[in-house]
Amino acid sequence: MASKLGAVAIVLAVMAVVLALNPPTHLLRPPPIPGAHDCLHASKVVPVGGTHGPESLTFDPSGGGPYAGVADGQILKWEGDERGWVNFAFTSSQRKECTRPFAPELEHVCGRPLGLRFDKKTGDLYIADAYFGLMVVGPDGGLATLVANQAEGEPFRFTNDLDIDESEDVIYFTDSSTTYHRRQFLNAFLSGNRTGRLMKYDKSSKGLKVLLRGLAFPNGVALSKDGLFLLVAESATGRILRLWLKGPNAGKFDIFADLPGYPDNIKRNSRGEFWVALHAKKGPVLRFLLSNSLIGNFALRLPISLQKLHLLLVGGKAEATAVKLGKEGEILEVVEDKEGKTVQFISEVEERDNKLWIGSVMRPFIGIYDLN
Ligand SMILES: *[C@@H]1O[C@H](CO)[C@@H](O)[C@H](O)[C@H]1NC(C)=O
């Protein structure tokens, strides 16, 4: 134990020196992913009307949208080139102070809608609000109402994403941490505090069940096309977990994919494949910081701003990467904006109408990439 701590101390000291010397960032950059297509720089960007951070995008059952939750707590709807984005819904009734496009210190007041999905049967929009929990708003929008904000007596701190199984009338959703809020996402990511959970909400009985616990930053959720399994992105391990819902293995989970980066949201396409947006690729800095929670916690205490720490983690460069997975978890395709020319830090990719619709939790626009 003592020698282990000694080794960690030496490693930390070396790291601090390296940091202080401000090394050439090319040494810190993640290695390229073999076979990746550097094409996403050809995306078109559409600003989200002076707001910021459209993490998740969704379309209503009649194809309207996209809809996007943004950093000031609004859920916006795109109504075409002429009208642009209009306010569709919000999760907080106290919106007086919520006028700034990006104010993390007000997120617990204004709400922070992350995952969005329409129930195709009812037209209701379900919302994973990072601060308030699972919420719902009717087809006409307005103020959302609460569905659930705790499970097993433990409040949600960082509700993140959801998917709906309309045939079973159930909703699956994640809470990334019971310790840290969304604005402390770097703590949730680096501290080794595995308190994330996956829940199932039954609409008819209103019952709530915890399906998986002790997860390392569970994030995006997607149901398989046949409803046999559910995927959960585990951001801090860079993996996708598969939870079997039906069949002989029901209730068991395994590793569906070990990714070349740290995943955010997952969206299934019409062929039953899955697009996974990677917040960052696996590179030397993050591999090192995540290798031991002492190192991760040390990094969180470095006297640098969160923005600086974040940029250091990703190897000094904002870029975009997404992976398409087959039904067995095999990587079918990797697309990138390698130099981050057009899109960066993407959080979601949805394939629809032969386009990729791209969300980003850290940028003031969505991206649209034409697959033709
Ligand atoms: C997470 O952090 C909280 C607050 O420090 C602590 O009470 C809890 O035991 C930690 N859980 C794990 C699994 O590390």
What's 8's domain CATH number? Answer: 2.120.10.30
Looking up tokens 């993490």, which residue turns up? 55
Rg (alpha carbons) of the chain, rounded to whole number: 20
Are the beta carbons of 365 and 346 closer than 8 angstroms? no
pLDDT of residue 171: 98
pLDDT of residue 19: 63
Answer whether residue 56 is part of any domain.
Answer: no
Answer whether residue 82 is part of any domain.
Answer: no
Q: What is the CA(93)–ligand 1 centre distance, in A?
A: 32
Q: What is the CA(179)–ligand 1 centre distance, in A?
A: 7
pLDDT of residue 25: 66
Q: Whose CA is nearest to atom 7 of ligand 1?
A: 179
- 55 contact partners, CB below 8 Å, separation of at least 6: 68, 69, 113, 114, 115, 264, 265, 347, 348, 359, 360, 361
Q: Which helix (H) or strand (E) holds 367?
A: strand 365-370
**Which residues does ligand 1 sit against, CB inside 6 Å?**
179, 193-195
Question: What residues in the chain have per-residue pLDDT under 50?
Answer: none
Domain count, the chain: 1
pLDDT (tens digit per residue) in 116-126:
999 999 999 99
The domain in which residue 258 lies consists of 2-35+65-75+89-268+284-318
Q: Whose CA is nearest to atom 4 of ligand 1?
A: 179
Q: What is the CA(193)–ligand 1 centre distance, in A?
A: 6
pLDDT of residue 98: 93
For the chain, give the number of residues.
Answer: 372
Q: Which helix (H) or strand (E) holds 107?
A: helix 107-110
Q: How far apart are CA 47 and CA 37, in angstroms?
A: 25
Answer whether residue 325 is part of any domain.
Answer: no
Q: What is the CA(195)–ligand 1 centre distance, in A?
A: 7
- 366 contact partners, CB below 8 Å, separation of at least 6: 45, 46, 48, 54, 57, 66, 68, 357, 358, 359, 360
pLDDT (tens digit per residue) in 37-93:
999 999 999 999 899 999 999 999 999 999 999 999 999 999 999 999 999 999 999
Number of H helices, E strands in the chain: 7, 28
Answer whether residue 308 is part of any domain.
Answer: yes
Answer whether residue 223 is part of any domain.
Answer: yes
Q: Return the number of other C-beta atoms located less than 10 Å from residue 82's C-beta.
A: 5
Answer whether residue 186 is part of any domain.
Answer: yes
Q: What is the CA(178)–ligand 1 centre distance, in A?
A: 9
Which of 176, 178, 179 has most ligand 1 atoms within 8 Å of CB, for mutation?
Answer: 179
pLDDT of residue 23: 56
Q: What is the CA(111)–ligand 1 centre distance, in A?
A: 24
Q: How far apart are CA 29 and CA 190, in angstroms?
A: 18
Q: What is the CA(75)–ligand 1 centre distance, in A?
A: 32
pLDDT of residue 185: 95
Answer whether residue 20 is part of any domain.
Answer: yes
pLDDT of residue 310: 92
Q: Whose CA is nearest to atom 10 of ligand 1?
A: 193
Give the residue among 283, 310, 301, 287 at the shortest CA–CA distance from 237: 287
Answer whether residue 131 is part of any domain.
Answer: yes
Which of 177, 195, 197 has most ligand 1 atoms within 8 Å of CB, for mutation?
Answer: 195
Specify the pTM: 0.94
